[in-house]
A and B are shown apart, each in its own frame.
Chain A
């Protein structure tokens, strides 16, 4: 089935070499060395990895009604592209948008990340899993300062998004990547569920979703990671001044409420 989908896409863009590198939650992710309109060997000057591009393809989902499917694919593709562009303008680290083909569900973007020592891709998830495997009581490398700094940075990025009225909508450790082996600078990716919202509720749910993803994916050290992320989140709000402080306290009190709701919900049957 998957091969069929890949073949279909290749037929539609026959001159672009495609290598499937990952099947995400809803998209197929391809790597290509070809820029959509620059001649071979010429690359934009402001990309992390010249000559390496990602093509994110949202194929039709045959399980859902075609009408619903079209609506979802088109809105997600175009809203993701718009957001990538917006983040570029804001100077927030995220893959740079290179091209979009909304009707076909295609986004062309900058490649971010590198290969971890265990040969896996440098998503936050894979990195933490690697450190967690290497950790023991005497040497909890998963709790080292570089992890702390990285988590702070993630919290800051989320904070910046929220300060600009953007919610990510799908914060997990798969959707955060490390972009540089030396600095471990994190970047958010996967903006398909992102939206503009001024509601504390939406920001609170954004945080709640990430907290739970941490707890389920990284059960042993989740609490620490989360504390550090919140520290960074707090700091950018603080630096923003009065408005930021207000926003922060609104979001956090709502976040506690969302958490409570989860605990109070009755579970019958």
Chain B
């Protein structure tokens, strides 16, 4: 059993951490409280504040690093103030300041690190750099109570199947080219649908109205998958559809009706999600687990959750998922994972708070677990 209280302040029965996230187009700040002792069903982390502001690019465009960083700089002070106010916590009562060190986009990451460094000096608080993916995993475990699940991490920039072993979250499968969120976002751009609240959400809504399944490439490679070819293919179909082509493949082979944009969204989702569920199932079989946890922005998708639930059920297992407060990038997960690390002695000196765009999940030594 890991001693989670070797660094506790004498006489203080709890810990408080503030977390700041800004690795992509969301800026989030959260405040979390842990009581002494290992976390379990009877000793849960308490969420005292969790606020967020999202930068949305205009329809047809992706968010650019510079604009996103500007958004984060504009909002960071206000969000920190709001989070502190919501939590009712005094700065002097905080134990540490946690920030996303990577992976992510350079400029937005940096704008948040600068804010974190400033606050740390102003408030004389230690800094804890957090791996964004570890943030998602630890928060997902805490919220759902899943102890040792296979984790499907699906977001704008990541598609990974992860399982814990020997104090690391190890990557069993991942995309060989683009990430699932990126694939959906880019297709949304092709369709010129709005980026608000998120491109993926809008595709999900359209997909619900689709009824014809269009055949798309299905490209699973063991526990890995490839998506760029599928995107290219479905993009091509969309262009042909918009330009009014009358080709045979633009009509359903059973009822002869013309394929719609909704059908394309539906087919893309069905195809990609089947691949995701399949590689997750492969990993579950390989490591002998029957729990699955979905984290990351795309994890909010209800169809994906439904499909994963059916698969887990067929393996006599269960699925754990969270809602948009925790799935979508947020500050609380950074506070939580950072605090776990702080409690076992992690901390970053000012000079090693440089952010890392390609910080891999399996680089982190998970000292707070020893199962």
Contacts and interface: CB of A to CB of B under 8 A. Distances in A.
A71 B214 CA distance: 12
Interface stretch (A34-42, A140-148, A261-269): A261-269
Contact of A205 (B213, B221, B311): B221
Interface string A160-188: 00000000011110100000000000000
Contacts of B358: 263-267
Interface residues of B, number: 58
B20 interface: no
Interface in B37-92: none
Given A68-B213, A267-B157, A62 B23 contact: no
Contacts of A65: 213, 270, 274
Contact of A25 (B286, B297, B357): B286
Nearest to A24: B285
Interface in A174-223: 174, 193, 205, 208-210, 212-213, 215-217, 219-220
A115 interface: no
B315 interface: yes
Interface in A213-269: 213, 215-217, 219-220, 258, 261-269
B118 interface: no
B224 interface: yes
B371 to A, nearest CB: 16
B156 A193 contact: no
A261 B314 contact: no
Given A172-B286, A268-B103, A63 B224 contact: no
B36 interface: no
Given A205-B221, A209-B223, A261-B176, A219 B314 contact: no
Given A63-B308, A65-B270, A269-B297, A216 B314 contact: no
Interface string B211-245: 00101001011111000000000000000000000
Contacts of B175: 265
A68 B218 contact: yes
Contacts of A216: 163, 165, 170-172, 362
A193 B172 contact: no
Contacts of B163: 216
Nearest to B279: A25
B110 interface: no
Nearest to A123: B286
A65 B271 CA distance: 9
B274 A68 contact: yes
Contact of B357 (A71, A171, A258, A266): A266
Interface in B278-309: 278, 281-282, 285-287, 296-297, 306-308
B171 A172 contact: no
A269 B222 contact: no
A205 B224 contact: yes
Given A170-B221, A265-B177, A269-B104, 8 more contacts: A26-B282, A63-B314, A68-B271, A68-B274, A261-B176, A261-B177, A262-B176, A267-B104
5 contacts: A169-B222, A193-B220, A209-B222, A212-B224, A269-B181
CB-based closest 8 A-B pairs: A269-B156, A268-B157, A269-B24, A267-B103, A25-B282, A63-B310, A209-B222, A216-B170
